[in-house]
């Protein structure tokens, strides 16, 4: 029988109150709190915390606190990913982000989902992974919903709500986010 953590990562219904998952969230929140309390001159301490917090990519991520996540261990970051102030990543499922991708301030990435059935919603949830390619720029205040894939070299306009996949090499914006044009320059 699968443990709740494995069900969560597989996108199946799981119990978010499972003691192992609660402990993992507490660990991540404590690390985020430590990260967010660092000062600009404490770059080595930030790097140490990020190595401990992030599943993959803590060595090169450029993080401008404050930053918040559910687990951190489900984040797979490429080279030199940048998160500006006040970003939130709810990573109950894997969030993979390619090399040199930039996030403006207050970007939010969500993987958790909740059943429509209220009784079921009281005790279980599930998630869908998010995948973001390389060289993507996500404008400030954008929200990326569960299960979305954003292709490499795409630009997402500020304040967009990304509800479905965005192909490579396009500018997309709005609520809901839609492709505006191909990027040709």
Catalytic residues: 114
Contact status, residue 138 vs residue 131, Cβ threshold 8 Å: no
CA distance 158 to 73: 27
Half-sphere exposure of 27 (CA within 13 A, CB side): 14
Report the 10 Å Cβ neighbour count for 81.
24
- Tell me which residue of 2, 1, 31, 5 sits closest to 18, measured CA to CA: 5
Residues forming beta bridges with residue 171, ordered by sequence position: 155, 181
CA–CA gap between residue 60 and residue 82 (Å, rounded): 9
**How far apart (Å, rounded) are the C-alpha atoms in residues 185 and 181?**
12
């Amino acid at each position: 029988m699968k443990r709740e953590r494995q069900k969560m990562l597989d996108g199946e219904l799981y119990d978010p109150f499972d003691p192992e998952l609660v402990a993992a969230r507490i660990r991540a929140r404590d690390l985020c709190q430590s990260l967010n309390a660092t000062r600009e001159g404490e770059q080595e301490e930030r790097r140490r915390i990020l190595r401990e917090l992030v599943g993959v990519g803590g060595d090169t991520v450029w993080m401008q606190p404050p930053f918040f996540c559910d687990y951190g261990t489900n984040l797979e970051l490429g080279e030199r990913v940048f998160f500006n102030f006040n970003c939130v990543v709810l990573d109950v499922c894997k969030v993979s982000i390619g090399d040199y991708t930039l996030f403006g301030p207050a970007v939010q990435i969500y993987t958790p989902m909740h059943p429509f059935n209220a009784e079921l919603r009281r005790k279980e949830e599930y998630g869908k992974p998010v995948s973001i390619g390389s060289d993507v720029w996500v404008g400030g205040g954008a929200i990326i919903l569960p299960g979305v894939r954003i292709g490499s070299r795409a630009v997402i306009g500020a304040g967009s709500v990304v509800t479905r996949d965005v192909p490579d090499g396009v500018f997309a914006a709005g609520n809901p986010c839609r492709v505006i044009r191909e990027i040709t320059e």
